[in-house]
Structure 1
């Protein structure tokens, strides 16, 4: 059985060896080819300008770089035609140092269009370059050569894309790390622009455990899913933790549970929304604090908001959560007056009993119900729901601890003196604490 012909680039052709079954090139044709390299290059540049509108729209330096590639391609063809060898020459002889300029200037599709024009110009000149007997082998050599150049161009673009992907991944990791550290600088803004981030609102950070041994397939799936649910996403994997910075989430109620499915086992916590990516460090810090405290709430939903974990975060020593409880719950309750703080305190301390609370406060049970609804309106937390009542009770505790204690004179003193001391210490006539100034919190 005859052996298949070894084409350029096949594994059967050793570097430096001619192709089996290929007749030696006619020396006269080779010399004629060498003599016409200049004219072929000029004809090629004119044809590129005539056939490719995008080539005419390039800058002068970009046209010069592509023209150099075309000229090198023609010169290298002459060498290859004289002695066909392994195609390893293509990257160095044809493209040389041009890959960077080539991939920046034009797409792979346009690069192949350029190669097609070059090949067409050379092929059109075949009748003038070789006698009739040698025209067939010369045309075949042109086609084989164009195939190798096309493969080499594809390889150039693939390597460039791989390099860009690696650089983008490193840059993305730097941005995520800067956000976690709370960095706010011109360098961070420059990096944010470099990764293509566009969202300017509804930015949140979601953290949880990463799947075991995440690979490129996992990251691609993660980006595919989040790309449908949010405008922008940054991905960071630090040890066993997966960090997502999400921007412009379209429907958080549906998006967050779907994204959570891509995390590993355990709690997944998302922080409050930030106005910009530079300010997202607050969301990240809250999310990580919530992740640390989440194990104290075994029944927590998945995912869970960092704000739903305020009590656990306070107990674990998170001062940010303490201030948030005072600012968002305790102070609004005191400012609302109408006995909301007293009613809530009595309701929580009396086992969540409406009747017992009404008797203790000497008011009707419907009044208690109304005040508890007002508590929900003012704070956003419903005392009739057990979990939310726990949050409210924690807010009362930390709020009272944030107020300076009353100063009582030695020996007890008179009742009027005691009243004056209580007022000076921040207590009202009913013995209720008045919140301290904001600076004390």
Structure 2
């Protein structure tokens, strides 16, 4: 008998009459083969003994169906590829939830090895060579069938998870995070109990699912939880974990996957304390995303708070209030001449000497006050970009009552 690496060639098998006779003899001992296979599973695989009676009985049925399927295929009068679709019956869908693909492969391997051994022990010597060659081909087809079943199950689960993730992310972004949403997020692998950041960027040019999985991979390496969803032409990503508690730390994490977004700005919202508060980070990130066109040379990614001037000019009331409260208010309350020094410094083309002459103070006093302004506001008057933000903050501080915006924004 001839055999190849792909199994025995059906054209070289015995005549249909001879195959039918061999198959009949093997069918008579198939029950003993199944019993031996299940017994060997118990010996080899400790986890098999831990299964409940229902799952163990299903595996027994699968093993019996596999052996019976081989007998039926071998006895078929017309050469054809093995059809193993009925080997697993209705069990795989349930079994796939209870045992892994690796465990399934181990069970198939055990069953085939036992069947080969039983052929040598139970079948006549003249039947053994052709049966051993044939079972090689049949076992390969069984393994492919098992892999196909698990692949389909994984695809279905992946599609379901993607839909669920999109729903959860949408609810979080819109501020509709109740206990059911938190529970679903947990089911998707969200473990963070604090520190959340929302990132907004252009929709990826690559296939969306692949892009989101790429971001998830980078987040996993960074030790950060992640949810993602595409809304229109934008991709919104929700990050969680203590590693993004500070804006600069969050920026560093987003830098790892910023290239996955499509062309355009990638804006990182401010950290908030909980997933239920993510809408605040979303609001800032979306506002920054819309206003980023006003700063063409902005870094990528960029913090939403670094876009406060553009956001304020584009009509974001939260940004106007933030500039007035965090810049103008503290300077006005300092009582150390900081506000006056800043105004004069900006009005004199950022010249320290001209500012000193106008205020009748030493140039070193001006330098000290400029340093204090940076410490109080986070903006350096000597930096062109920061000076732009400070100038706008001064204007807003004067326009808004007590440095606050009483109107709607």
Alpha-carbon distance change, 27 to 360 in structure 1, aligned in 2, over 3 angstroms: closer
The answer to whether 1:275 aligns with 2:266 is no
1:248-292: CA deviation from partner (whole Å, max 9, x where unpaired): 457556544443333332222211122333322222221111111
Could you say which residue in structure 1 is the equivalent of 2:46?
53
Contact 1:65 1:101 in 2 (8 A): no
Confirm whether residue 30 of structure 1 aligns to residue 28 of structure 2: no
Whether the 8 Å CA contact 2:226–2:238 is kept in 1: the answer is: yes
**How many angstroms does 1:193 deviate by?**
1.0
- Decide which moves more: 176-185 or 226-235: 226-235
**1:26–1:134 CA contact under 8 A, matched in 2:** no
Query: What residue is the counterpart of 2:367 in the other structure?
Result: 369
Contact 2:230–2:236 (CA under 8 A) maintained in structure 1: yes
Instruction: Provide the C-alpha distance between the structure 2 equivalents of 1:329 and 1:304, rounded to a whole number of angstroms.
Output: 20
Closer/same/farther in 2, CA of residues 260 and 116 from structure 1, 3 Å limit: closer
Is there any run of 5+ residues in structure 2 with no aligned partner, and where? none
Shift of 1:128: 5.5
Structure 1 counterpart SS, 2:162:
helix
With CA pairs under 8 Å and 6+ residues apart, which has the higher RCO, 1 or 2? 2
Task: Measure, in 2, the Cα distance between the counterparts of 1:435 and 1:316.
Answer: 19
Q: Paired residue for 1:122?
A: 115
For 1:437 and 1:108, locate their aligned partners in 2 and report how far apart those are by CA, in whole Å.
60
* Contact 1:201/1:247 (<8 A) preserved: yes
CA RMSD across the alignment = 3.3
1:20-169 matched pairs, under 5 angstroms: 20-23=11-14, 24=16, 25-83=18-76, 86-87=80-81, 89-91=83-85, 93-127=86-120, 129-169=122-162
Moved over 6 A (4+): 3-10, 436-441
| TM-score w.r.t. length of structure 1 | 0.79
Q: How many residues align?
A: 400
* Residues 8, 85 of structure 1: 8 Å contact kept: no
- Partner residue of 1:381 out of 373, 379, 382: 379
For 1:186 and 1:215, how far apart are their aligned partners in 2?
28
Aligned to 1:234: 227
> Do 2:7 and 2:136's aligned partners in 1 also have CA atoms closer than 8 Å?
no
Q: 1:8 to 1:377 in 2, by over 3 A?
A: same
CA distance in 2 between counterparts of 1:292 and 1:436 reads 23
* Shift in alpha-carbon separation, 1:241–1:88, aligned structure 2, 3 A: farther
Deviation at 1:216, TM superposition (A): 6.0
What are structure 1's unaligned runs of at least 5 residues? 11-18, 404-433
C-alpha distance in 1 between matches for 2:208 and 2:289: 24
Deviations 1:382-411 (A, max 9, x none): 1222211221222222223221xxxxxxxx
Q: Deviations over 1:211-235 (max 9, x none)?
A: 4354666555544444434533333
